[in-house]
Amino acid sequence: MTTIATTEEPTAPARRRRRMPLAAAIALVPAAIIVAVVYVGCMIWTVRLSFTSSRLLPNLDFVGFSQYERLLSNTRFLTSVENIVLFGVLFIAACLVFGFLMAVFIDQRIRGEALFRTIFLYPYSMSFIVTGLVWQWVLNPTLGVEDTLHKLGLTFIDVDWAVNRDTVVYALVLAAVWHGAGLVMAILLAGLRGVDADLWKAARVDGIPTWRVYTSIVLPLLGPMIVTAVVLLAISVARLYDLVVAMTGGGPGIASDVPAKFVMDHLFERSNIGLATSAATMMLITVAIVLAPWVYARYVRPQVPR
């Protein structure tokens, strides 16, 4: 009897909505467990292990930053960092330029648009293992492209890129661009199709050449799409592992090693858990520094209550 009055208050529905719906909470339990155990728990575990002297088996002693000191004087790790930086810059730049050009040229009301689109994107559907193995064969130093070029009389061109320690990273970039440039094309083409048609009319009336419209007006309009493409490409750079394993095995020697492979090898083959987890932690820190502000601005802050 005493509660009757509250049902007429305007705050009542809001209060009812705020009550925790049990079934919804239960439905979120699997995701919550995964976040707590894997994304938070395993991450902390790895960071903790990086401060131990663990080798084949994990132990929980505390050796301070000595694994990190060892890591930063490890030639193989330093090579892998150099490689991933070089690879990342070249791969992202090449994919953006090539992908943008493909999108612009496809957007010129051409015949067979669907066919070109399909051809440009199909490598993206395949695995890095397939990509790596194909390019390993195409770039085979005796039987591959080099053989054909030499038979055509172009004997001054050597296509030993994948087996030469000075060029092996470029060979990886070539294969990765083949795999990923179509992705940029697809994203930017969707963006180009969203550009206001009036803009093109206005530009034509003003007599601005088409290429000027693309570089000065359309490109800035595509900003968000380009950011998206860069984020997707950057994730695949940070994860770069399969392609290297399949195409070069990290070789010749350690010339094409990358951090992800460094971690995996030290975990499972070289039984150096302390060093491996410290390298993994370095990867984590790098990615966090690069991406956390972007994720925060894009996903966490603009939460609109509904």
- Looking at residues 164 to 193 of the shown chain, list those that interact with another protein (rule: CB under 8 A): 178, 182-183, 186-187, 190, 192-193
Q: 4 or 24, CB closer to another protein?
A: 24
Q: 278-283: long-range contacts (C-beta < 8 A, 24 or more apart)?
A: 278/50, 278/67, 278/68, 278/70, 278/71, 279/71, 279/77, 280/46, 280/50, 281/46, 281/47, 281/50, 282/68, 282/71, 283/238, 283/259
Segment 57-76, which members bind another protein (CB under 8 A)? 58
Instruction: Return the SS3 of 129.
Output: helix
Neighbours of 180 (CB within 10 A): 26
The one among 12, 15, 27, 223 contacting another protein by CB under 8 A:
27
| Residues 144 and 151 sit within 8 Å (Cβ to Cβ) | no
Q: 89 or 126, CB closer to another protein?
A: 126
Shortest reach from residue 73's CB to another protein, in Å = 21
- If binding is defined by CB under 8 A, does position 84 make contact with another protein? no
- If binding is defined by CB under 8 A, does position 220 make contact with another protein? no
At CA 293, angle to CA 288 and CA 294, rounded to 5? 100
Residues 255 and 165: their CA atoms lie apart, in Å, by 5
Q: 12 or 43, CB closer to another protein?
A: 43
Shortest reach from residue 56's CB to another protein, in Å = 12
Segment 95-154, which members bind another protein (CB under 8 A)? 98, 101-102, 105-110, 116, 118-130, 133-138, 140, 142-145, 147-148, 151
Shortest reach from residue 269's CB to another protein, in Å = 11
- If binding is defined by CB under 8 A, does position 35 make contact with another protein? yes
